[in-house]
Structure formats: C-alpha cells, structure tokens
Structure 1
Amino acid sequence: MDWVTFLSRSIDALAWPITVVIVALVFRRPILELLPLLRHVRFRDMELQFGKELASARKETEELEFQRGVTFDPVPRFQKAVELATAHPPAAIMEAWKIVEDELRQLAVRTGQEIDPRDPSTVFTSMRREGRIGPGAGSLFNRLRRLRNEAAHSINIDIGEGQALEYVDLAETMAAFISNLGKKRSARPKDKS
C-alpha cells in the first residue's frame, strides 16, 4: 500500500468520527441544555427514566389532596439521607425509602394490621384497597418505590445529588402522610360567618 492510498483510507475512516466530535464541540451548549429534557436513555436492556419519574412524582405530590392546606407532623429522621446525597446519591435514596418503610411498620401497629416483614408496603396496599388512601397517594407511593428499586438495582444509572435530594424530599412527604394515617384528627373549628 502506498502512502496516498494509506492517507485516503485514513481520511475515509476518520471522517465521520471527526465530524461528530466537531459538531458536539460546536453545539455543546445547546446539547447540554437539552439533556435534562431527555425522557429516557436506553443502554442494552435497561431503560432509565429516573429524572422523568422524579418530575412526575413531584407533580403528584403537589396534586395530592393531603397537600391542600393540611399540615403534618414532620418526620425528623431524614437528615442522614440528606447528608448521604452528596457523597453517594443512591444510598440517600435507599435511606429515605427505609424511613418510609419504618413509617409503614408503625402504621401497621397503629391500625392492628398484619405485616409481611419483608415487604411492609402491603399495609399501604391494603389500605389503598379499602379506600382509606386516595389514588394520588397510591400513585406517588408506587412511583417512589419504583425509583428506589431503580436506584438499588441498576448499575448503569447515574443519579446526581439534586435528584437524590428531591427524592428524599418526596419520601419525607410520603413518610409524613403515612405517619398521620390512622391517627385521630381534631375536628376543625366551624366558620362563624
């Protein structure tokens, strides 16, 4: 092979990769602005939708009936999850979900329900079936559980600190909701108008 043929084949082989790199460099800012809008990313058999799921969970939290002017006792045990979010975001998600499960165990005790020690979410599911929990709370609970499972079992997922903190916040809202289930509420004062 002479040098002209070698040069020609090298240019032929490198033309597309070089073009892609140049386009990526020229349009890097618009590309970076579009990345958060991705609905999902496929990598082999895994489909990642973590960011989209978080956004949907946030929207469900805002729409829930228990968010409309009702205050709940906070669940103060989330500080460890917040601290973990910086160093290891998936661990923060696991810690936050563990607190939600602890609240489910306490709910089972308060309401006298049997509980599967391996899956305390059965308490929530049975209350949902009985109509004691609305569809919004049920949807948020299921979404948080799916996100936790994705964080726990997906090795190719990249969860950032912001996403972990948002998950912790949503889990804290869910834990407060669960914490207040089965508790007696005082009657609201009647309007004297």
Structure 2
Amino acid sequence: MDWLQFVSAIVSAVAWPAAVVTVVCLLKDPILGLIPKIRSFKYGELHVDLTEALQSLQDELPAAPSEPETPPESQPPSLSVPLQIASVSPRAGMIAAWLEVESALNVVIKREGLDVSTDELPRAKMDRLRDAGLLNPPTYRAVLRTYKLRNEAVHMLDREIPYDDAVAMADVCSRLVESISTYKKAQSDHIAG
C-alpha cells in the first residue's frame, strides 16, 4: 500500500462521519428552534404531556359557577389576573393561577385554625387539609395533579408553554379555588339539612 492508497482509505473512512457532523452543525439552530414547540415528550417510562393533563383535569372538575349576566355596556369584560399575566407570559400565568390555589389553601388553614405554617410546602398543607376532612378526595387528587403541572411549568424552561395551556390552567385553578373554599360549607349544609 503506497501513500496515495493510504490517504484514499482515510478519506473514505472519514467522509460519512464528517458529512453527518456537517449536516448536524448546519441544522442545529432549526432543530433547537423546534424543541420548545414540543407539547409532549416520551422517553422510556417518562411521558410528559402538559396539554393532555390539563384537559383531563378540566374534564374531572365540576363546571365553574356561572356568573350573573350583566349588560355588556355596563361592565367591560375583565380577565382574571392569571389570564392577564398569561397574555404576556403563559408560563408566568400558570404559576399565578397556582398561587390562587395555594392562597385558598392558606385561607382554609387559617379559618380552621390548623397547626400548619403557611410557609410549609403546598404538599404538607394539602395533606393536613385532607386529613382534617377539609378536602374531599377528588379535589385533593386534582390539587396534587395541578401542583405537579405547576412544577413542570416552573422547571421545564426549555419548553414553550402555549397560551391555551395557561388558559386551561387558570380554569382548573379557579375551579379548585371554588371547591376548596366551599367544601366545608357545603358539607355542613348537607349535615344540617
């Protein structure tokens, strides 16, 4: 084997890997641009689908109470704070919606005089309210799932959150706030009746 055959063998061995590396380098930016638009991700046992989880929660929770109709000229339609925030940043809107749920948990804790610090993690608050009979099992499970979605929104920074998901989260959270706030009252009304 002379030096020309040697060089030819090296070039043919390196050509395909070099071509693959070149294509990857050229397409890196478009591929990275597509990653945040992924709404679901599956790798082995891990499966994350934010939109599906929010839709499931919306279907499980009771419908939000209807508001009395007012003439359109007397009161302009107003968006909730989480929706106002979501119009600028859907991720921040989801977090703001969760904060309303956490605030409702704190209100019930304070109202019932439970020995739980409002600085404790939300999971501890939920467990105490459930143990005290102040969260019914379906609401407890929904709050846990919503808390998980909130954590995904906070920690999955490489993924873009669509506005529709923030709207769904705000809807779920407003229903949870209603359920958390009225559960004891509804339960005691039922017992008295």
TM-score normalized with structure 2 length: 0.63
Give the aligned partner of residue 115 of structure 1.
116
Distance in 1 of aligned mates of 2:121 and 2:179 = 15
RMSD: 4.0
Match of 1:51 in 2: 51
Q: Given the superposition, is the C-alpha separation of residues 166 and 71 from structure 1 closer, same or farther in structure 2, using an over 3 Å criterion? A: closer
Residue 95 (structure 1) aligns with: 96
Match of 1:24 in 2: none
Other-structure match for 1:22: none
- In the alignment, the residues of structure 2 paired with residue 153 and residue 11 of structure 1 have an alpha-carbon distance, to the nearest angstrom, of 38
In structure 2, stretches of 5+ residues that fail to align are 5-10, 24-37, 68-77
Partner of 2:153: 151
Q: What residue number does 1:30 align with? A: none
Residue 90 of structure 1 and its aligned partner are, at CA, apart by 0.7
Secondary structure (helix, strand or coil) at the match of 2:185 reads coil
CA distance in 2, matches of 1:148, 1:180: 23
CA distance in 2 between partners of 1:116 and 1:171 (Å):
22
- The 3 A distance-change label for structure 1 pair 78 and 146 is farther
The structure with more radius of gyration: 2
**Cα distance change of structure 1 residues 14 and 182 upon mapping to structure 2, 3 Å threshold:** same
Q: Does 1:139 align with 2:111?
A: no
Q: Distance in 2 between matches of 1:182 and 1:167?
A: 24
**Aligned-pair CA distance for 1:48:** 3.3
The total of aligned residue pairs comes to: 160
Asked whether the equivalents of residues 143 and 176 of structure 2 are also in contact (C-alpha less than 8 Å), the reply is yes
The separation in 2 between residues aligned to 1:136 and 1:152, in whole angstroms, is 24
Counterpart of 1:168 (choices 167, 170, 178) is 170
Q: Please report how far the alpha carbon of residue 60 of structure 1 lies from its aligned counterpart in structure 2 after TM superposition.
A: 2.4
Deviation at 1:174, TM superposition (A): 0.4
Report the alpha carbon displacement of residue 78 of structure 1 after superposing the two structures with TM.
7.1
Match of 1:181, SS? helix
Hey, what does 2:107 align to over in structure 1? 106
What CA deviation, in whole Å up to 9, does each residue of 1:113-145 have, x standing for no partner?
022333363332123234443321111111100
Gaps of 5+ in 1: 19-34, 62-66
- Checking the alignment, whether the CA contact within 8 Å between 1:48 and 1:157 is kept in structure 2 is no
Deviation at 1:173, TM superposition (A): 0.4
- 1:14 and 1:52 map into 2 onto residues whose CA distance is 39
